[in-house]
Amino acid sequence: MRDEYLLAALRLAAGADPVPGRVGADARAAFHLRLPGGVVAAPVEVRGPTGARSGGGTPDAPDDDGPGMHRFAVAGLVIDVEAVVADGRLEVAGQVSPAPGPDAGWQAEIRTAHVCKTRDLSENGRFAVGGLPTGWVSVVCHRPGEPPVSTRWLHVRS
- CATH code assigned at 88: 2.60.40.10
Residues 12 and 67 in one domain: no
Strands 39-40 and 149-150 turn out to be: parallel
**What whole-number percentage of the chain has pLDDT above 90?**
53
Give me the count of residues in the chain. Answer: 158
Residues 19 and 73 in one domain: no
Lowest mean pLDDT among 11-15, 39-43, 105-109, 146-150: 11-15
Total of domains in the chain: 2
pLDDT band at 146 (very low <50, low <70, confident <90, very high): very high
Residues 55 and 85 in one domain: yes
Residues 71 and 117 in one domain: yes
pLDDT band at 7 (very low <50, low <70, confident <90, very high): confident
Contact in structure between 56 and 69 (CB atoms under 8 Å): no
Distance CA 1, CA 76 (A): 32
pLDDT band at 57 (very low <50, low <70, confident <90, very high): very low
| Domain ranges, residue 21 | 3-32
How far out from the chain centre does Cα 3 lie?
Answer: 23
**Sequence-ordered list of residues with C-beta below 8 angstroms from that of 65, at least 6 positions apart, any chain:** 57, 58, 59, 83, 154, 155, 156
Nearest to 35 by CA among 132, 149, 116: 149
Mean of the pLDDT values across residues 31-42?
A: 83
Contact in structure between 96 and 108 (CB atoms under 8 Å): yes
The residues facing 156 across adjacent strands are: 135
Residues 27 and 55 in one domain: no
Residues 79 and 59 in one domain: yes
Is residue 58 scored above 60 in pLDDT? Answer: no
Q: How far is CA 132 from CA 5, 48, 141, 158, in A?
A: 31, 27, 18, 13
Mean of the pLDDT values across residues 29-46?
A: 84
Residues 27 and 68 in one domain: no
